[in-house]
């Protein structure tokens, strides 16, 4: 068997090498998919954190935006629901709850830096899970970013504000 190029040793070596290369490529693709999903989630979480900061820690710009009759791209510059950090204004919450047409909902998303995304904001009691406010669309998805904060309603009621964002 000397001099034969396709000996049993060579065939088994090539087969073993092909199997190893196939496993490497499959593992590499799996890692690349996980990195992509992780990167997309981090980007979505960043948007959710930015929007929750705008909503729950600032009064908006102008601070009395809830008195503007028709929201436009120019006015208000930003939306916020707070008197002070994490203390929410019931008038601003009621105004936001009244913005429910699809065009105005898109404008709210744009003002919060969530263009191209969807959102749902709920404010519930921390002791009895009573829902005080619910705005946006329910996702029903597992791949959404959720931000929870503790807030004060009307300066007295401690509540949990939840903002869920997805694409």
Q: Which residues are within 8 A (CB) of 83 and not within 5 positions of it... i.e. 6 or more apart?
A: 59, 89, 155
- Residue 83 and residue 77: Cα distance in Å, rounded? 17
What pLDDT is recorded for position 38? 73
Is residue 3 included in any domain, yes or no? no
Is residue 128 included in any domain, yes or no? yes
Is residue 91 included in any domain, yes or no? yes
Is residue 156 included in any domain, yes or no? yes
Domain count, the chain: 1
Is residue 99 included in any domain, yes or no? yes
Provide the domain limits for residue 108: 8-166
Is residue 50 included in any domain, yes or no? yes
**β-pairing, 78-79 with 60-61?**
antiparallel
Is residue 98 included in any domain, yes or no? yes
What pLDDT is recorded for position 48? 92
What pLDDT is recorded for position 3? 59
What pLDDT is recorded for position 74? 85
Is residue 2 included in any domain, yes or no? no
What pLDDT is recorded for position 86? 86
Q: What is the pLDDT along the chain (167 residues), one digit of tens a residue?
A: 555 666 778 888 889 999 999 998 888 888 777 776 677 888 889 999 999 999 999 999 888 888 888 888 888 888 999 988 889 998 999 988 888 776 788 889 999 999 889 999 999 998 888 899 999 888 777 778 899 999 998 788 889 999 999 98
What pLDDT is recorded for position 5? 64
């Amino acid at each position: 068997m000397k001099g034969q190029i396709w000996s049993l040793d060579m065939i088994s070596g090539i087969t073993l090498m092909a199997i190893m290369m196939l496993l490497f490529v499959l593992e590499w693709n799996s890692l690349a998919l996980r990195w992509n999903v992780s990167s997309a989630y981090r980007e979505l979480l960043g948007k959710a954190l930015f929007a929750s900061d705008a909503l729950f820690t600032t009064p908006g710009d102008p601070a009395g935006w809830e008195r503007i009759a028709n929201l436009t791209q120019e006015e208000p510059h930003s939306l916020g629901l707070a008197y002070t950090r994490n203390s929410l204004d019931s008038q601003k919450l009621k105004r936001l709850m009244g913005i429910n047409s699809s065009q105005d909902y898109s404008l709210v998303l744009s003002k919060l830096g969530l263009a191209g995304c969807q959102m749902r904001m709920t404010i519930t009691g921390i002791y009895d899970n009573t829902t005080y406010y619910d705005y946006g669309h329910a996702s029903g998805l597992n791949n959404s970013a959720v931000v929870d904060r503790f807030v004060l309603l009307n300066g007295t009621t401690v509540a949990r504000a939840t903002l869920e964002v997805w694409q």
